[in-house]
C-alpha cells in the first residue's frame, strides 16, 4: 500500500493565512512564510497554498509570496488561485511551486487541463473541486464556493482524469471548517471510480477523522488547515498515531 500523505493548507488572503467555516467568516491564522517553514520542520508530507480571493478579484496568484514560501520548503509544494493559463503556471513553477491547482478556470475552459498536462506533465496538475450536497446530489461550485453550477462532482472528476489531471483535491463545502469529519462516502466513491489520487479536504477536527478518511474514505492524502494552524493537532503526533493504526505514513 502506498504511503498516505498529510498536507497542511495555507489559504491566503491579502498576504496572510486565513481560515473560515463553510468558506465564510474568515479569521487570521498567521504569516504564511513562517507557517510553511514550521510545517516542513514538523513532518508535513506536502504543502498547499491557495490564494483564495485571486479568482474573485480577477488577479494572478501572489508569485512573490510563492517564491518566499518555496524558499522555506524541502517538501512538494502545490499552488492555486487565479491560474488561468500556461504562462501563469510557468511563472509559479519557476518561483518554486512543484504542482499547481486549478479550479474555476478548469470548469470554464476544460481544455486548460489538457494543455497543462501536455506541457508540464500530469504529475504537476491538481484539479481542485469544491462541491456541496444539494438534495442528495453533489454539485460543483466555483469562485471560492460562491458560484453554484449544475456540474455533478463524479462526472466532472472523471472528465478531469481523462483530460490528464494527476490528482484531485476534493473539498466538501458542507464539511469545511466544521471539524465534524471528512465526506468519506463521497471520497470512497471518487476513489473507487477513478485511478488518480484523491486528496480529502474539509472537516478535519481530530485524529480519528484522519484515520476514518484513509480507511473509510479511501483517500490518498488528507488536507487540513485550522487544526494545524492553531496547534489543535501536532503533525508528528498525528502521523505516529495513524501509523500505529496500520496506516502507512512517512515519519
pLDDT tens digits along 158-183: 999 999 999 999 999 999 888 999 99
Q: What percent of the chain is predicted at pLDDT more than 90?
A: 72
- If one looks up domain 5-244 in CATH, what number appears? 3.20.20.70
Which residue has better confidence, 163 or 22?
A: 163
Residues labelled catalytic: 11, 130
Residue-wise pLDDT tens digits, 35-56: 889 999 999 999 998 886 655 5
Residue 249: phi, psi to the nearest 5? -135, 145
pLDDT tens profile 215-227 = 999 999 999 988 9
Q: Is the pLDDT of residue 58 over 50?
A: no
Q: What is the mean pLDDT of the chain?
A: 90
The CA distance from 153 to 208, in Å, is 26
Pairing relation of β-strands 137-142 and 16-21? unpaired
More confidently predicted of 13 and 6: 6
| Helix segments in 11-152, DSSP class H | 32-42, 63-70, 86-94, 104-108, 111-120
Q: What is the residue extent of each domain of the chain?
A: 5-244
Amino acid at each position: 500500500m502506498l504511503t498516505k500523505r498529510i498536507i497542511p493548507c495555507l489559504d491566503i488572503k491579502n498576504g496572510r493565512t486565513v481560515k473560515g467555516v463553510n468558506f465564510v467568516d474568515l479569521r487570521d491564522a498567521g504569516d504564511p512564510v513562517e507557517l510553511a517553514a514550521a510545517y516542513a520542520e514538523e513532518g508535513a508530507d506536502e504543502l498547499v497554498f491557495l490564494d483564495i480571493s485571486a479568482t474573485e478579484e480577477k488577479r494572478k496568484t501572489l508569485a512573490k509570496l510563492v517564491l518566499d514560501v518555496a524558499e522555506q520548503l524541502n517538501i512538494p509544494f502545490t499552488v492555486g488561485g487565479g491560474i488561468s493559463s500556461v504562462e501563469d503556471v510557468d511563472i509559479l513553477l519557476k518561483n518554486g511551486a512543484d504542482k499547481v491547482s486549478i479550479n474555476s478556470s478548469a470548469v470554464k475552459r476544460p481544455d486548460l487541463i489538457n494543455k497543462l498536462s501536455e506541457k508540464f506533465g500530469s504529475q504537476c496538475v491538481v484539479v481542485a473541486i469544491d462541491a456541496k450536497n444539494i438534495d442528495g446530489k453533489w454539485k460543483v461550485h466555483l469562485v471560492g464556493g460562491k458560484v453554484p453550477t449544475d456540474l455533478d462532482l463524479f462526472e466532472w472528476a472523471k472528465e478531469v482524469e481523462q483530460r490528464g489531471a494527476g490528482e484531485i483535491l476534493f473539498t466538501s463545502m458542507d464539511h469545511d471548517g466544521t471539524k465534524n469529519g471528512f465526506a468519506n462516502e463521497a471520497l470512497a466513491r471518487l476513489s473507487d471510480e477513478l485511478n488518480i489520487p484523491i486528496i480529502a479536504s474539509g472537516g478535519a477536527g481530530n485524529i480519528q477523522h484522519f484515520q476514518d478518511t484513509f480507511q473509510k474514505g479511501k483517500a490518498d492524502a488528507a488536507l487540513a488547515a485550522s487544526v494545524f494552524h492553531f496547534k489543535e493537532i501536532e503533525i508528528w503526533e498525528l502521523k505516529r498515531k495513524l501509523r500505529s493504526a496500520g496506516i502507512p505514513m512517512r515519519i
